Structure 1
Amino acid sequence: MRISKEEMAAGKLLPETVELAVQLIKVNGYVLFEEVLPRAQVENLYDKFVEILGPAMEKHQLNPEVGFHNDTNHIGFDLPFRLPFCDEAIIAHPFVTDVVDQILGDDCVLNYFHSNTSVQGGKKPQKVHSDTGSRYGDRCTVNLPIIKLVVNFPLVDVNELNGPMEIWPGGTHLHPDNWYGPNSFNKPQLAEHMQSVKVLMPAGSILIRDDRMWHRGTPNRSNHPRPNVALIYTSAANAPQKGSIQIPEETYNQLSEKAKKLLRNENIGIPVEPAN
């Protein structure tokens, strides 16, 4: 979806835009808002991210030339809760919260502050998967309501070359609950015979998706990393009572009331640790 100039200027989606986005997520599994964040902000985020990516890879002894994580060269780690990563335009962007609140309720929480990066040199795609497991194991044979939404902010233009996410929309999030458990039919085997889409998007776009939608990372054949900021919003009834995001007290106190409400269950008053 392209957001209108009027909505961009106002920083607020029209009710009909919110409703369309909500219905797209419910029916198709995702919605994409193109080029929302200013380019200068995204470039600064990318520069600061690269500064922590190298040490994070060294910490875990990951060498792109040798290959890691089954030669996918994909790495994910928690982001430090400090600027520019914890900017309100990331953690509580009004375009995101308008949609998330409609689906999860306005008392939902933000309980995942992470990154997913396709590092150059990858040779294989990830296995097709969803980002959640079954809530009731093999017992539940009906589809359940959405309880988690993943939000991705790409920090570079995502193209065919640099490892775009590949998704299987239009129904893979609508299976019975037991389809997301360990005993369900092999997703990669099925996915070979299904239509998929590579999510190509300009830097600063916003991708909102049901965490059950099947997807995988693809190899990055460019010369530079392809990072995404990755957040998860969860309905209040299904959220952990104690989160894992470490937020200094002074940082939390400077947030908007909306952001404070989203982060109310996290580790407030704990110093920020390096990316891990």
Structure 2
Amino acid sequence: MRISAEEITVGKLLPETVELAVNLIKTNGYVLFEGVLPKEQVENLNNKFGDMLESYMKERNLNPNDGFHNGTNHVGMDLPFEEPFCDESIIAHPFVTDVVDQILGDDCVLNYFHTNTSVQGGKTPQDVHADTGSRYGNRCEVNLPIINLVVNFPLVEVTENNGPMEVWPGGTHLHPDNWYGPNAYDKSKLAEHMHSFKALMPAGSIMIRDDRMWHRGTPNQSQQPRTNIALIYKSAANAPQNGSISIPQETYDNLSEKAKRLLRNEKIGSPVKREYKLEQYAK
């Protein structure tokens, strides 16, 4: 979906836009708002994250030329809850919260603050998968309501060449609960005979998706990482009471009331947690 210039300027979706987006997620498994974040903000996010990614990979001896993670060259790492990543336009963007609240209820929470990066040099795609398991193992043979919404912010333009996410929309999120369990039929085998497409999008877009929609990462054949912020919003009734995001008290106190409520179950008062050594990051 292309958001109107008026909506971008005022920072508020029109009611009819929200209604369409909600129904696209319910019917097709996802919605994509193209080119929402300002170019300067996206470039700053990508530059800051690029430094962190470099340190993270060096510490773990992840060499793109050698290949890693079964040849996918895929890196997932938690973000530190600090600027510029914890900006309200990321954790509580009004375009996102308007849609999320309609689906999960306005008492939902944010409990995942992460990144997914396709690093150059990958040779193989990921297996086709959903980002969740079944709620009731093999017992439930009906589709259940959405309880998790994944929100992705690409920090570079996603092209055919730099490892776009391949998606199988239009119903893969609407299967019975036991289709997401450990004994379900191999999704990769089924996916070979199903329609899919690669989700190409400008930097600074916003993708909101049901975490049950089938997808996979593809090899990055460019010369630069394809960086992407990944958040998960969860219905409050299904959310863990003890979160994992470490948020300093002062940072939390300076958030809006909306953001505070979204993060109320996290580790408030804990120092920022980093997955890299600070002295390597400080150049």
Q: For the superposition of Structure 1 and Structure 2, which TM-score range results when normalised by the shorter chain?
A: over 0.9
Distance 1:125 1:209 in 2: 20
Alignment of 1:1-276 (within 5 A): 1-275=1-275
Instruction: Provide Cα deviations, 1:186-228, integer angstroms capped at 9, x if missing partner.
Output: 1000000001010000000000000000000000000000011
Percentage of pairs with the same residue: 76
In 2, Cα distance between equivalents of 1:266 and 1:59: 27
Which amino acid counterpart does residue 239 of structure 2 have in structure 1? A
The residue matched to 1:250 in structure 2 has which SS?
helix
Query: In the TM superposition, what is the alpha-carbon distance from 1:275 to its structure 2 partner?
Result: 2.6
Q: What is the Cα deviation at residue 60 of structure 1?
A: 2.1
**Shift in Å at residue 61 of structure 1?**
2.0
**Match of 1:117, SS?**
strand
TM-score when scaled to structure 1? 0.99
Aligned amino acid, residue 138 of structure 2: D
Structure 2, unaligned runs of 5 or more: 277-283
TM-score, normalised relative to structure 2: 0.97
Work out the number of aligned pairs and report it: 276
Superposed CA deviations along residues 229-267 of structure 1, whole A, max 9, x for unmatched, are 000000000000010000000000010000000000000
- Name the SS for the 1:77 alignment partner: strand
What code does the residue aligned with 1:79 have? Answer: L
Deviation of 1:73 (Å): 0.1
Amino acid in structure 1 at the alignment position of 2:192: E
- Offset from partner CA, 1:139-187 (integer Å, 9 cap, x none): 0000000000000000000000000000000000000000000100110
- SS, match of residue 240 in structure 1: coil
Work out the CA distance in 1 between the residues paired with 2:76 and 2:164: 15
Amino acid at match of 1:113: F
Amino acid corresponding to residue 52 of structure 2 in structure 1: I
Unaligned runs of 5+ in 1: none
Distance in structure 2 (CA, Å) of the matches to 1:57 and 1:129: 25
Aligned AA for 1:160? E
